[in-house]
Amino acid sequence: MSKMKKLLTISIILNIIFILLSGYLALEKGGLSYIKSKIGIEKPYWYWKNFEHWNIEKSMYEIMPNDSSEIVFVGNSLIYRCNWAELFSNPRIKNRGIEGDNTEGILARLSEITESKPEKIFINTGTNDLALKMPVSEIYINYEKIIDQILETTPATKIYIQNVLPINNSPGRSNDLIIELNKKLEELAFNKSLKYINLHDRFIDEEGNLKQELTIDGLHLNPKGYLLWKQLIENTVND
């Protein structure tokens, strides 16, 4: 066999190995859906860039007047679905949650949130990033960008990182990955000298899932779940 043929054979073998390895890694991360999501072919209807609801809510928040000493709740549907101001009997609380939002979406609308120079910001996000098959390392980077932008824009604002709640048979998400992400969020809070609020451990059952009595669908909370959430952060909100 000539030298040229040997090199061609080796090249073909290496390419086959690369294709097989790439296919295995993609399969481990979610198969065809993962590949489609990474190259932009397929995104869920609630992905913020294409979600009409996201754009409508962002526009609504932008026309709302800024108040002094705001306490802002930022996040996805878990934030959006609760009337926090009424729950705490505190009109200073502003809900800036949007259904389907993730760390990317929050970064894209963060200037509206920081514009009022809030007294406090409570963040809860990450579960939708995991559902989009984003690696924990990438979510961490986005989360850090959110924190850094808040600190730069409104340094007097107190920031509270609320960790990600567990799920109970919610497609696209994994309690193991949630635990991994929460460890990184706790590390981020420590590195930035921020308050880290551990909601997760009070919402899990003996098997490590979201308690059935606190949820309507394994992901979103019922009134009992929100009352527990209030109990866990009430002193921090009111101090």
- 10 pLDDT above the threshold of 90: no
Residue 43 domain flag: no
| Among 18-27, 110-119, 215-224, 227-236, the least confident range | 18-27
89 and 10 within one domain? no
Choice among 19-23, 33-37, 156-160, 191-195 with the minimum mean pLDDT:
33-37
Number of domains in the chain: 2
Domain residues for 14? 3-38
Whether 179 and 143 map to the same domain: the answer is: yes
CB-facing half-sphere around the CA of 41: CA atoms within 13 A? 6
Q: Per the domain annotation, does 136 fall within a domain? A: yes
Residues 147 and 61 both lie in one domain: yes
Residue 225: pLDDT band by 50, 70, 90 thresholds?
very high
Task: Clarify whether residues 111 and 14 are in a common domain.
Answer: no
Looking at the fold, whether 148 and 108 belong to one and the same domain comes out as yes
Regarding whether 124 and 10 lie in a shared domain, the answer is no
Asked if residue 85 is part of any domain, the answer here is yes
Asked if residue 132 and residue 110 are part of one domain, the reply reads: yes
- Taking only the tens place, the pLDDT of each residue in 66-78 is 998 999 999 999 9
Paired strand residues for 162: 197
Q: Within a domain: residue 199?
A: yes
User: 180 pLDDT band (50/70/90 cuts)?
Assistant: very high
Does position 232 have pLDDT exceeding 60, yes or no? Answer: yes
Which pLDDT value is given to residue 208?
A: 95
> Considering the domain boundaries, does residue 17 fall inside one?
yes
What is the rounded average pLDDT of the residues 101-116? 97
**Within this chain, do residues 25 and 60 fall inside the same structural domain, yes or no?**
no
Is a pLDDT exceeding 90 seen at residue 178? yes
Residue 217 forms part of a structural domain? yes
pTM: 0.83
> pLDDT band at residue 221, thresholds of 50, 70 and 90?
very high
Q: Is the pLDDT of residue 35 over 70?
A: no
pLDDT of residue 170: 82
Flag whether 46 is in a domain.
Answer: no
What pLDDT is recorded for position 172?
82
For the chain, percent of residues with pLDDT exceeding 70: 84
φ/ψ of residue 42, rounded to 5 = -135, 125
pLDDT for 113: 97
- 39-50 pLDDT per residue, tens: 445 789 999 999
- Same domain for 191 and 119: yes
pLDDT of residue 37: 47
CB 54 within 8 A of CB 100: yes
